[in-house]
Structure formats: C-alpha cells, structure tokens
Structure 1
Amino acid sequence: MARHHHVRRLVPLVVTGLLLAACGQQQAGETPAAAGEVTELAHVHGLGVDPADGALYAASHHGVFRVSDGGEPVKVSETQDTMGFTVVGPGHFLGSGHPSPDDTDRPPHLGLIESTDTGRTWRTLSLSGEVDFHALEAKHGQVYGFDSQTQQVMVSTDRKTWDRRARLSLADFAVDPADPDTLLATTEQGLARSTDGGRTFTPVPNAPTLLLVDWPAESTLVAVSPDGTVQRSSDSGATWTSAGSAPGAPEALATRGPSEIYVATDGGIHRSADGGASFTSVDG
C-alpha cells in the first residue's frame, strides 16, 4: 500500500509530489540488478509482510525486494516499476505499475499483475495497458484499487472484471477488516470515509493531517502524517492520537497486527514493535 492526505496547501503539494515522483522513469546511469542480487533499495511504493514466514517485502521503482532485519535488501523480482502492491496470502502478491525501460513487449501500464512465488515471477490478471493502480488492497474476497489514470476507486470480485466507483484525488486508502463497504481515504481535502464500498466519500471531521493509512484490526487504524508522525485510532478513525515518528519523508506503510509497524521513508525502512512509539532501521 500504500499514501495520504491533507492540509490546505502543504498536503496537496506533498501528495501530488509523491504520486508524480513514484511514476518517474529510471534515471540515466542507473543499472538495475538481476533478481537475487543485493542492491540499494530506493523509491519504495509499497510494503507487505508475507504471513508464511513474517518476511517483509518492499515494492519499488526497480522491482520487489525481500528485506531482512539488519541486512541488505535482496532483489527477488524482475526490474519493473511496481507501484500498487499488496500481500494476499502466503507467497501471494498482487501489484501494478510499469515495465522496465528496456521491456518493449509490454504496455506502459501493467494493469493488475499477480505473483504466487513471493514476487519472483508475475503474470497479468486484467487491465493490461489500461490501468495503473497506485494503491491496492485485497480483503473480503475482493480487490480494491485506485487507478491513477482516472483517479477512480475500482473493485473486483474475480480480479478480471471491475466496477468503477468514486472519482477523487487520493494518496492512500484502507478497507475496514470487519466491513467490506467501509473505506478510509487520505485526500487533498482531508481524511474521507466511504460506507458504500467506495461509491461515495464524505469528510471525516477533526482528523489530523495524514499521508498513509492501514487498518490492521477491527476499529484499529495506523496512519502516518507527511512529516513521519505516526497517528493511531481505536474507534475506526473517529479520533486520533499521536505516537512517535519515523525518520524521513514517508513513502509506504505496512502493519503486522496493531503494534508492529513498518514505514519506508527516503532514509530507509523502519520498524516499530511498540505501536509507533519508537523505530529502528531494518534495511541495513
């Protein structure tokens, strides 16, 4: 997953900048490493924990990496700009994005792609050439995505046919684990809630400035502000409290239960085991 949202002037600039930067092409002079090689991890678009073994995976501008605590990230996938990213189950990932610059056989937008071998190989499921998901979630037997091309929330029950729903400028969204119709989205205007499966959204009053959001347990939300401050809610987003702060500008967020939090920033990937009160580096 995941980015986030609001504040009158600052947040629209932050959100727009993150979304545009995430879509950038490989810079001149960069040489992508082959799968399995150790290489520097940067421009992280999504994080996810494999329930098979608790391993952390980072989807980036140059492919998917396995991140070991204290060790160097190891690239596991081909070099593709993996934008939207979510872990469905053991070894099972969904993604979206763009092919590598030297891959001329695929369209510029990959649509929905799937890996069942922890990111080593990918296949197209749907929407090839049509959609560039910048946020993805798989819950309640459905896949929820945000298409950066049309700025629409899209939902599928079979990963092939899609229902296009609300159109809004969002940075990130999360789905209630207890209710398939309830979503929270971080937008340029502030935190917004949907209770009809993403067809309509209404503002959440008095919410803090947020950029990234995750919903690890019923009623429990974890979010990150543009400055890296962790925000928590125990009442489904009605009220929020501040915890600690991840160092650097946030790029992606993942949780493993309500207390274990991973935040990717421009300075690396950081882990908290105490609900965001403190962080340590996990990527060397």
Structure 2
Amino acid sequence: MRIAGLTQDFMGFTVVGPGHFLGSGHPGPDDREQPSHLGLIESTDGGESWRPVSLSGEADFHAMEAAHGRVYGYDSVSGRLLVSEDRQTWDPRADLALADLAVSPDRPEEVIATTEQGPARSTDGGRTFAPVGGAPVLVYLDWPASGRLVGVAPDGAVHVSTDGGGTWARRGQVPGTPQALTTHGGAEVYVATGTGIHRSTDDGRTFRVFQEL
C-alpha cells in the first residue's frame, strides 16, 4: 500500500475513529530507515502520514482490534495475543495461531479468534481460549453488534450468527480467496479478495463487485 510517498506492507489494520487508524507491518523496499517490523504505528490524518507508537522492530501484528479503550493484537513474531490500554505497554496473553480476531462490543473480556480448527472464544480477555462448538471454520470475522457476528470461510462462504456465535447460518459466497472482511450498519458486508472488493447489502446473502482491484 502506498501512503504519503512510501510503500508499506500492512499486515494489521484497525480503525479507532474518523481519520484515526492503527496499523502494523513492514516498510517498503525503498524505505531503509525503518526496522523490518514496524510494531504499532498510528495515523490521525486518514492515512496521509504515520508515526511509530510502540514495539518498533519487535512486533508484527497480523490481526488487530481497537475496542473498549484497548488495542488487541496478534503478534506473528511471538505467536501471542497482546493487549494494551495505553498503546505503549503490552500484556502478553494466549499463545495460539490465529488468522483474525473480534472483540465483543459489549464485553471487553470476550474475544473470538479464527483458527485452522475453527473459532475459539475467550472470556478472560484473551488469556485462555476454548473451541466454539458447532461453528464453521472461518478465516476473517467481524463483531459489529451485540449478538451479530459475520465471518467468511477460506472458500469464500459467508456465515452469520445472531446469538453471539452460538449458532451459525450460511449465507452467500464470494469468488476467490478472502483477504479481509468488514461490516457497516445492519446489513452491509464487505469482503476483499485478490481481484476485488465484494459488497452485500442484504447481510451476506448476495454479493456484487464493489471495486475491482
């Protein structure tokens, strides 16, 4: 991704608020001033510029969430979930391999992570996780409202839960390999693949190409 004249490889990204982003990843090939692992970086001008915040040269967050005044991040270097309340000091939590994570909008201690074996739930802030029984294997996940979770499987099938992950219903399908997922409002679902961004306005039942890549 090219931002402010620099190309950066963003592995983790989350929105804190309007124009306020947090990210992580690697500098571009033309940037020899920054370490290979950017740690936590921040933009407060809509991505026009970025500044290092913490763990520069140490952490590479591949999944991130900002919620309840905290930042939850999966560090691929250590293989652990890290949590911070001030973005400077980090508390190491569970050691597990995950692709994505979502935090309950109501309970800061409840986290669901996607793993190769299926979703896993934590009720102690990510210190321990247990499998979510009966859930489909998902790669990306969003938790936009109290009981509503939306996830996409490795094959592009979209699944929705309306009871906090207790039960799941398969909805539509996107072509290609999913690379990211997000939701907006009560019914919009966006899934990015290698060829484009696909948008649903009926809670994942049908998709159309929103933007080709």
1:224 aligns with 2:152: yes
**Aligned twin of 1:16:** none
Q: 2:141 aligns with which of 194, 206, 213?
A: 213
Matched, 1:261 2:189: yes
Shift of 1:265: 0.7
- Give, in angstroms, the shift of residue 168 of structure 1: 0.1
Q: List alignment gaps of at least 5 residues for structure 2.
A: none
Counterpart of 2:81, as a letter, is V
Check if 1:111 corresponds to 2:73.
Answer: no
**Equivalent in 81, 92, 97 of residue 25 of structure 2:** 97
Question: After superposition, what is the alpha-carbon deviation per residue over 1:172-225, rounded to whole angstroms, capped at 9, x for unaligned?
Answer: 110000000001011122210000000000011111121111001001000001
Looking at secondary structure, tell me which structure has more helix per residue. Answer: 1
1:268 and 1:236, CA in 2 relative to 1: closer, same or farther beyond 3 A? same
The equivalent position to 1:242 in structure 2, one of 170, 174, 177, is 170
1:78, 1:120 within 8 Å by CA — same for their partners in 2?
A: no
Which one has a larger percent strand, Structure 1 or Structure 2? 2
Say if 2:6 and 2:31, in contact at 8 Å, map to a contact too.
no
**CA distance in 1 between partners of 2:207 and 2:96 (Å):** 33
The 8 Å contact of residues 78 and 121 in structure 1, kept in 2 or not, is answered as no
CA distance in 1 between counterparts of 2:149 and 2:123 reads 16
Q: Deviations over 1:95-121 (max 9, x none)?
A: 000001121111000000000111110
- The 5 A counterparts of 1:57-72 are 62-63=1-2
- Shift in Å at residue 63 of structure 1? 3.5
Letter in 1 for 2:46: T
Equivalent of residue 88 in structure 1, options 2, 11, 16: 16
Unaligned runs of 5+ in 1: 1-61, 65-75
Moved over 3 A (4+): none
Q: 1:166 aligns with which of 87, 94, 119?
A: 94
Q: What SS is found at the alignment partner of 2:10?
A: strand
2:25 alignment partner, SS class:
strand
Superposed CA RMSD: 1.1
Specify which of 201, 206, 211 is matched with residue 129 of structure 2: 201
Q: How does the TM-score come out when normalised to structure 1?
A: 0.73
**Range 183-192 or range 106-115, more displaced:** 183-192
Report the 3-state secondary structure (helix = DSSP H, G, I; strand = E; otherwise coil) of the residue aligned with 1:283: strand
Question: What amino acid sits opposite 1:127 in the alignment?
Answer: L
- Identity of paired residues, percent? 61
Q: Distance in 1 between matches of 2:182 and 2:161?
A: 15
Q: What number of residue pairs does the alignment pair up?
A: 212
TM-score w.r.t. length of structure 2: 0.96
